[in-house]
Chain A
Amino acid sequence: MHLNRTYEEINERIRSGEAVVMTAEEVVDLVREKGVEKAAEKVDVVTTGTFGAMCSSGAFLNFGHSDPPIRMTNIRLNGVEAYGGLAAVDTYIGATSMVEPPGKGYGGAHVIEDLIAGRSIHLQAWGPGTDCYVRKRIDTCVTIDDLNEAYIYNPRNAYQNYGIATNTSDRTIYTYMGKLMPRMKNATYSSAGALSPLLNDPHLDVTGIGTRIFLGGGEGYVAWQGTQFKTTVEEVNGVPVGGSRTLALMGDMKQMDPDFVRGLDITGYGTSLAIGVGIPIPVLNEDVMGRCAISDAEIFAEMVDYSLPSGRTCMQRYSYEELRSGSIEYQGRRIRTSSLSSMHGARRVADKLRDWIEHGEFLLNRPSMMLPREGAVKPLLERKRGE
C-alpha cells in the first residue's frame, strides 16, 4: 500500500478541523509502535520546532517620511547602528550590530525584541541634505505601530545540525557556543535534535521557497536557501553529522510575539537573536513520515576544540540522546553538557504550530521552488589586488 496524499487533501482536512497533527517528537514513538505505514496513514502533518541563537538575523524597517523629509544615511536605533545604504527611510537592522559604545550588552537583536514587545525606540538619523531631501537631522521615538513595514529577513536560520564545542586549554573561553570551562569541564551543543526542522526533512523534499512556517510567534515563509548552504557533510542514519543545510526566512514582525524572539548578550562574543522557528511537514507519503521518525539516539554531532584558533577537527561523535543526558564521556572522563538552544522553547514552537493547524488557522502550501539539491561552502582567500 502506498500513500499518496496531496497538499489539497491535507488543507481540506485542516479547514474541516479533521487534520491529525503531531510533533516530530511524538511521531518517534508512534512509528516505533505502529510502523511507518500506519503512522503515515494516521497523521496528516508533523510539526517541528527550534528556538536558538541565530546570528544571521535582522529586520527591514520603513519609518515613513517626516516633514520636511530626510534621506537617512546614518541611522541609530536606541544607539545601535542600522544600515544607511537603502532608500531614504528604509533600513536593515542586524542582530549583531552593537550599541555604541559597545560593552553594554545591547544590540540590534534587542532593538528587534523591543519593537516586537511594543516598546518605544529612540530613532536618530542624519543625512547629507539634498535638494529633494533638505533635512539633515531627525531625533524622535517610534514604536512598531508607527512603522509602515517591519519584517524579519534572516539570511541564515534553522541550521541543519551543528557542532559540539569544548575547550582543552587551561583558561575559560567565552564563545558564541557559550562559556567553555578549562580542561574540558563542559561541552555545549545547539540543536533541537529530533524536533529540529531540517533534521526531519533532511534532503528538503517538502521544504522549499514559499513554504509557510512559524517564525517568532507569527506566520513566516522560507524565502531562499540560507547562506553557507551545504550538502557535502557526511550522513549517519540519513542526516548530516554537522552544520549542513540552512534557510533564509522572512516574516511580518507585527504578528510576532516577544516570547519567541529574544535579544541575547553572549559574554565575550556579542549580541545575537534567539528566534523560534517551526516548519510543518506534510505527510505526503510513507517516506516523509519515515524521515520524521528519527530520534535523538539516531542523530549525531561532532565535538571540536574551540580553544584552537583554526583547524578544529572532530574529537568524537555523540548522539543527541547522549548530549541530553547531561554528560558525555571522552577518553575515560566525563564532560558535562549544556544545550544553547532552548528545548523548552522548541517544544512550545512545535506545540503552538500544531495548535494553529488543528484549529484551522494555518494552511500548508506547496513550495513554489525547491532548494538546491547540492551546495558547497567556499572559504575566503586572501589575495593581493590583481592576483
Chain B
Amino acid sequence: MVDHKIRIDFNEGNVLESVTYTLVSEFDLRPNVLRADIDGDGSGFMLLSIVGEEENVCRAMARIRDMGFSVRELSGHIIHDTERCWSCGACVSLCPTRSIHHEEGTMRVLLDTGTCIACGSCINACSVKAIQLEL
C-alpha cells in the first residue's frame, strides 16, 4: 500500500463527474480529499491523497485521464527548506493535522509531508519563507 498525492484539474465540461467514486468503485482505492478549489467558471483542482495497490493507482490515473481530467502526481506538495528554517515553531500551532512538530530532544521543527493536507496555513506564518506549497 502506497500513499500517492495526486492533483486533478477540472473544467466546466467535467466538473460534475465524481472522480472519487470511480477511484473507490473501480480500483478499490482509498482517496482522501486534501483540498478542492473550484471557481465560478467551473474550473478548478482537487488534491487527493490516495492509498491503495501501486498497480491500481496507475490504472486509475490513466482512467481519470481518459475521462478528460488533467492528472498529475505530486512528489512533494509542500517543501520545507530545512536550511532556511530556524526552528522557531511559529507554524506549529497553526497546523490542523499536526504535521509540523518539534523533534523530541533537539526541538528542531520537522514537517511530515505524509499527513500534510496542503491547507497553507503555515505559509504566511513563516518569518523566513522556509515553507512553500507546490500544487
Determine whether the beta carbon of B127 is less than 8 Å from that of A344: no
The reply to whether the CB of A343 lies closer than 8 angstroms to some CB of chain B is yes
A347 surroundings in chain B (CB, below 8 A): 106-107
The reply to whether the CB of B72 lies closer than 8 angstroms to some CB of chain A is no
Determine whether the beta carbon of B94 is less than 8 Å from that of A342: no
Q: Known interface pairs A179-B94, A336-B93. Does A342 touch B129 (Cβ–Cβ under 8 Å)? A: no
Interface residue from B88, B92, B93, B94 paired with A341 (Cβ < 8 Å):
B88
CA distance A264 to B124 in the complex (A): 12
Determine whether the beta carbon of A345 is less than 8 Å from that of B86: yes
Interface residue from B93, B107, B124, B129 paired with A187 (Cβ < 8 Å):
B93
The reply to whether the CB of B91 lies closer than 8 angstroms to some CB of chain A is yes
Can you list 23 A-B contacts (CB < 8 A)? Answer: A53-B127, A105-B129, A174-B124, A178-B125, A181-B94, A185-B93, A263-B128, A264-B127, A265-B128, A266-B127, A267-B127, A272-B127, A326-B92, A336-B92, A337-B92, A337-B93, A338-B91, A338-B93, A339-B90, A340-B90, A342-B86, A342-B87, A342-B89
Determine whether the beta carbon of A339 is less than 8 Å from that of B88: yes
Interface size on B, residues (CB 8 A): 20
A181 surroundings in chain B (CB, below 8 A): 94
Interface residues of B, Cβ cutoff 8 Å to A: 86-94, 102, 106-109, 121, 124-125, 127-129
The reply to whether the CB of A51 lies closer than 8 angstroms to some CB of chain B is yes
Chain A residues 169-198 with CB under 8 Å of chain B are: 174, 178-179, 181, 185-188
Interface residues of A, Cβ cutoff 8 Å to B: 51-53, 105, 174, 178-179, 181, 185-188, 262-267, 272, 274, 326, 336-345, 347
CA distance A213 to B110 in the complex (A): 30
B94 surroundings in chain A (CB, below 8 A): 179, 181, 186, 338
Q: Tell me the dominant secondary structure on chain B's binding face.
A: loop
A267 surroundings in chain B (CB, below 8 A): 124-125, 127
A343 surroundings in chain B (CB, below 8 A): 87, 89, 102, 107
Closest 3 CB pairs of A and B: A344-B87, A186-B93, A338-B93
Interchain nearest-CB distance for B95 vs A (Å) = 9
Determine whether the beta carbon of A188 is less than 8 Å from that of B93: yes
CA distance A341 to B92 in the complex (A): 12
Q: Tell me the dominant secondary structure on chain A's binding face.
A: strand
B88 surroundings in chain A (CB, below 8 A): 52, 274, 339-342, 345
CA distance A188 to B125 in the complex (A): 12
Determine whether the beta carbon of A345 is less than 8 Å from that of B87: yes
Interchain nearest-CB distance for A24 vs B (Å) = 15
CA distance A151 to B90 in the complex (A): 29
Determine whether the beta carbon of B90 is less than 8 Å from that of A262: no
CA distance A58 to B127 in the complex (A): 18
B125 surroundings in chain A (CB, below 8 A): 178-179, 267
- Closest B residue, CB atoms, query A271: B127
B102 surroundings in chain A (CB, below 8 A): 343-344
Interchain nearest-CB distance for A112 vs B (Å) = 14
- Closest A residue, CB atoms, query B89: A339
CA distance A53 to B126 in the complex (A): 13
Determine whether the beta carbon of A340 is less than 8 Å from that of B89: yes
Interface residue from A185, A188, A263, A272 paired with B90 (Cβ < 8 Å):
A188
CA distance A166 to B94 in the complex (A): 12
Determine whether the beta carbon of A51 is less than 8 Å from that of B92: no
Interchain nearest-CB distance for A258 vs B (Å) = 11
Determine whether the beta carbon of A344 is less than 8 Å from that of B107: yes
Interchain nearest-CB distance for B134 vs A (Å) = 19
B89 surroundings in chain A (CB, below 8 A): 338-340, 342-343
CA distance A53 to B89 in the complex (A): 12
Interface residue from A174, A188, A344 paired with B106 (Cβ < 8 Å):
A344
Interchain nearest-CB distance for A110 vs B (Å) = 10
Q: Known interface pairs A266-B127, A267-B125. Does A338 touch B90 (Cβ–Cβ under 8 Å)? A: yes
Determine whether the beta carbon of A265 is less than 8 Å from that of B129: yes
Interchain nearest-CB distance for A279 vs B (Å) = 20
CA distance A187 to B90 in the complex (A): 10
